[in-house]
Amino acid sequence: MWDAPTVQRLDGDRLHLQHGPIDVVLRAWGAASAVREAYEAVVTRFGAILPELAAELTELRKPMAERPDVDSPVARRMVAACRPHAGLFVTPMAAVAGAVADELMETLVTAAPLDRAFVNDGGDIAIHLTEGETMDVAVAADFSRGAVPALNGRITLSERDGIGGIATSGAQGRSFSLGIADSVTVLARDAASADVAATLIANAVDVDDPAVSRSPACALDPDSDLGTLLVTTAVRPLARPKILAALEAGHARADQFRRRGLIFDAALMLQGEARILGPTRSLRELKP
């Protein structure tokens, strides 16, 4: 059982919310009274999210092909984000962090009129911008020089872009991956959609090579929703043709998602090489 949720004020008028595995930093801009009302509402909503998800965990670990049946708001967001990808192996857990960010964002903007806001749930970020507002988002997704990702650059978003979510996934992240990408960063209409798309694109960045080590997910975590599927545990240096082949496979999936209207853009990185899908100018400027 988890401890009670904690709430901490950070510098820059940010709010830190933590409950079990959920670790969120958020900030809202607007009139002082509006920000205060929004923060009060989000703190109240936050404490109920983890118990709601825990009550439906069995359904949330089911592959989408088995049609998970859920009731709570965040769980429904997870299922909705994964539904367009039901032809691939995916469970609603692929969208959990993004869905939590989206739920908290909706709570903020419903409680009070805000100029702009972000909710960052472990790197999966929900964004809210009103007309004329912009937001700079730093991207740290290059692992080619060590275990801690380097800053690749910044993405500048405006209300006109229609982007409400940013997510990053890969073999070096906090969750298991079927692929070998250092990172895949995705821009989408909401954080849950970006979250699941980043996961699936990162899974597609893959190549057979002795330099890649894998283990069954259940051997690493008996409770993993990936079961006996082989997940990446290490990626040693690869020959450049193998790197490019893996990135091309991921790029093809990302382009398919974009053509289907599921994402706006994506940046894929592996061992110092990058593939950028391309429509977003500031994303094209990211460099490994």
Give the DSSP per-residue string, 168-185: EE-TTSSS--SS--SEEE
Q: How far apart are CA 186 and CA 88, in angstroms?
A: 18
Examine the pLDDT at 285 and tell me if it is beyond 80.
no
What is the topology classification, in CATH, of domain 6-284? Answer: T-fold (3.10.520)
pTM of this structure: 0.93
Task: Please give the average per-residue pLDDT across 72-98, as a whole number.
Answer: 97
pLDDT in tens, 37-59: 999 999 999 999 999 999 999 99
Neighbours of 220 (CB within 10 A): 12
pLDDT in tens, 129-161: 999 999 988 776 555 555 555 556 678 899 999
Enumerate the domain spans of the chain: 6-284
3-class secondary structure, 3: coil
Per the structure block, which two tokens stand in for 266?
A: 């994506």
**Comparing C-alpha atoms, which of 167, 178, 168 is closest to residue 233?**
178
* Long-range pairs for 217-220: beta carbons < 8 A, 24 or more residues apart: 217/176, 220/176
